[in-house]
Copies of this chain bind each other. A is one copy, B any other.
């Protein structure tokens, strides 16, 4: 007979506690919210994040950038919505030649999200920020009812300081510039799509999500303002990024298809799905227009870093056909590379 003092009964597992989930009250501004923040914010190395924070920049000029992240699934090979939200904003700053100093973090959470998932994403934000050498200084959390969001959306905003001598801008491309690409394309988009749809490629693919400010620092250290333009080809892919730069700089771009590194698994997935790898999103590579006199030095500096080890020339900037990007195909013919039209891969970032 089992009694209260029965040692076996006492060691049996207790009934599963109901999984803790985010409640509307966690967004109330009241007691529940204070408890949630006390749970989450120590991950940033501070007891509490205030509504606003004083940030010492040491400079009379800052670079500012913001990005919302709605990626689905939230966890994928190579990252999650938290690390992606840090890398994405850090990279937008880096494309202006800036190193990040401070980030803000705004969550929109759907009621019912497991608290454990929010903790995991928050830890990932904190870890990615530490790895980038940037502080999360302030934040906000809103909770919306069941069905009014899809789990969790994250908006990060960053401020950074320009590197000395850096002045890259979308409009600064010049005929004669060399087009450099830091690494293989298509990895992020195909990884997300494959993970979401269970296509099977995800077992062999990993998102390229990573910070690029170290690579940019190396490039600008090597060539200063010889780095005319920088762009991370995220949504819309390399094709859309180059079209935007060509339009802003009023120049043409001529690519060599044979020089553009498309991993075999990305090519296979794109073949299967009818996608053009040039339109697939990336989160860890950059394309640059560089003064031809500096191109070799920049390329060498890029290749010394892991995230630029596979850097290469992929084309040239020309005065002809301003605003248009063309590619010489493997068979030697030329085709126009258009911006992405319509929506190829929703919720990729």
Report whether A64 and B346 are in contact in the complex, using a CB–CB cutoff of 8 Å: no
Alpha-carbon separation in the docked complex, A70 to B61 (Å) = 32
How many residues of A are counted as interface, with CB atoms below 8 angstroms from the partner's CB atoms? Answer: 81
Select which of B29, B70, B95 is within 8 A of A51 by beta carbon.
B95
Given known A52-B92, A235-B28, A346-B27, contact A62–B340 (CB-CB < 8 A): no
Chain B residues near A234 (CB-CB < 8 A) = 29
The reply to whether the CB of A107 lies closer than 8 angstroms to some CB of chain B is yes
Contact at A145–B55, with CB atoms within 8 Å? no
A32 to B346, CA, bound (A): 13
A56 to B159 Cα, complex, angstroms: 12
Instruction: Tell whether A53 is near chain B: CB-to-CB under 8 Å.
Output: yes
Cα A69 to Cα B51 with chains together (Å): 14
**A23-37 CB contact bits vs B (8 Å, 1 = yes)?**
111111111111000
Say if the beta carbon of A60 comes within 8 Å of chain B. Answer: yes
Residues of B contacting A148 with CB < 8 Å? 70, 149-150, 347
**Contact partner of A341 among B31, B57, B147, CB < 8 A?**
B31
Q: In the bound complex, how far is the Cα of B12 from the Cα of A110, in angstroms?
A: 47
Q: List, sorted by A's number, 18 A–B pairs whose CB atoms are closer than 8 Å.
A: A24-B343, A25-B343, A27-B343, A29-B340, A30-B339, A30-B341, A30-B344, A34-B244, A55-B64, A57-B60, A57-B61, A64-B138, A65-B138, A66-B105, A140-B155, A144-B150, A144-B153, A147-B150
